[in-house]
């Protein structure tokens, strides 16, 4: 008899003590406990909110990157194979992904048959030989990431549309720019300068307004004519919605999932919270931003108009899982205060691009 197997029940002999016969329900429970618990089924990409994350955004791969740069691709692959049973340390996108999975868990409890949930795809130009270490790392942290795209040094951007990507996060600025050019919401994610504890029960996402949720129309006015002309322009066009920016669609997807909680009477307990954190001032230019969101049928839970004040201190209080901004000095200011920030390379505020392409290693995403 195998250890742990139910004992065979025999008829008792004369005078022997009788042992109650195990019921079929008890036997079924016994075998059910031996059966591995299945992970949830992956949704169809066209039904889900798809978040594509690069390997270097999800995990820290600084040592591996150094080896590639100094010793080349063959040594890089050899190192990965030798260390494939050692999980990577969490990278800047890790808390964000964990928060997405926490939301999914609650959505599945409320809507067990719905595929309108977050679907996370690991999108990397790593070689397939590195895949085992990535899989081991994902399993080590109990992440639910079933879809991988490993392109062996080629750009993965062409696959983003095939995966119906709603947001692409990478550590590679050039790849992010390629995605933005293809009309895909994307951002370069950066690690904060110090660790800050973020919520384990509520996904918090903070957005800048101009050139992130909205177009860069207003920033062009500032750059060309100054702040006074900008205030006049915003007042004159207060009731004309701004054109959409690159991350408007992602806010829309978050709002759709929020409404699934609202319809169950859980507005105050909603595990998704969104923030508008803008350098605009409320009195002179805030109305147009709010009216634009309203015209789209969208809203943010909180709107913070800073009138040019630094964003870092407010973000430190919010503690978002990610903050999106189109200007690097706002990203840097958020990093200094412990916020995971992501740069959206869109609009007039961007520096001119390099004309000579830069070589990127397999782990450079």
The half-sphere exposure of 348 on its side-chain side, counting CA atoms within 13 A, is 12
- Annotation marks residue 208 as catalytic: yes
What 3-state class would DSSP assign to 107?
A: helix
**What is the distance of C-alpha 309 from the center of its chain?**
27
Which of 157, 145, 160 is closest to 93 using CA atoms? Answer: 145
Other CB atoms within a 10 A radius of the CB of residue 240 amount to: 13
Rounded-to-10 torsion of CA 297, 116, 184, 131? 160
Calculate the alpha carbon distances from 144 to 48, 126, 132, 270, 271 in Å: 14, 20, 16, 22, 18
The one-character DSSP state at 169 is E
Catalytic residue among 172, 208, 325, 326: 208
- CB within 8 Å of 318: residues ≥ 6 apart: 204, 206, 275, 277, 302
Cα–Cα distance measured from residue 284 to residue 294, given in angstroms and rounded to the nearest whole number: 18
Cα–Cα distance measured from residue 309 to residue 303, given in angstroms and rounded to the nearest whole number: 14
What 3-state class would DSSP assign to 260?
A: helix
Residues that are catalytic: 208
């Amino acid at each position: 008899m195998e250890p742990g197997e139910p004992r065979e029940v025999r008829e008792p002999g004369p005078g022997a003590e009788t042992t109650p016969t195990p019921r079929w329900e008890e036997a079924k429970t016994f075998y059910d406990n031996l059966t591995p618990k299945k992970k949830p089924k992956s949704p169809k990409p066209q039904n889900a909110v798809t978040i594509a994350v690069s390997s270097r955004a999800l995990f820290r791969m600084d040592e591996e990157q150094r080896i590639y740069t100094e010793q080349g691709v063959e040594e890089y692959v050899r190192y990965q194979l030798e260390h494939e049973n050692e999980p990577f340390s969490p990278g800047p996108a890790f808390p964000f992904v964990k928060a997405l999975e926490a939301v999914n868990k609650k959505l599945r409890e409320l809507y067990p048959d719905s595929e309108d949930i977050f679907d996370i795809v690991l999108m990397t130009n790593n070689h397939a030989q590195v895949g085992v270490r990535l899989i081991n790392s994902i399993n080590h942290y109990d992440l639910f990431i079933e879809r991988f795209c490993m392109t062996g040094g080629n750009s993965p951007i062409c696959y983003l549309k095939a995966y119906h990507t709603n947001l692409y996060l990478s550590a590679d600025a050039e790849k992010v720019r390629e995605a933005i050019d293809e009309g895909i919401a994307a951002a370069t994610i950066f690690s904060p300068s110090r660790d800050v504890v973020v919520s384990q029960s509520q996904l918090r996402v903070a957005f800048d307004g101009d050139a992130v949720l909205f177009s860069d129309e207003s920033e062009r006015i500032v750059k060309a004519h100054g702040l006074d002309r900008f205030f006049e322009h915003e007042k004159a066009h207060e009731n004309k919605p701004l054109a959409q920016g690159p991350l408007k669609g992602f806010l829309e997807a978050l709002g759709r999932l929020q409404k699934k909680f609202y319809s169950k009477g859980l507005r105050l307990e909603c595990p998704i919270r969104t923030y508008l954190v803008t350098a605009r001032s409320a009195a002179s230019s805030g109305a147009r931003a709010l009216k634009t969101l309203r015209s789209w049928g969208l809203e943010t839970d909180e709107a913070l108009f800073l009138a040019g004040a630094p964003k870092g201190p407010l973000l430190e209080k919010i503690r978002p899982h990610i903050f999106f901004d189109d200007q690097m000095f706002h990203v840097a200011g958020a990093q200094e205060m412990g916020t995971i920030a992501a740069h959206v390379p869109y609009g007039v505020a961007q520096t001119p691009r390099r004309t000579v392409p830069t070589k990127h290693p397999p782990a450079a995403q």
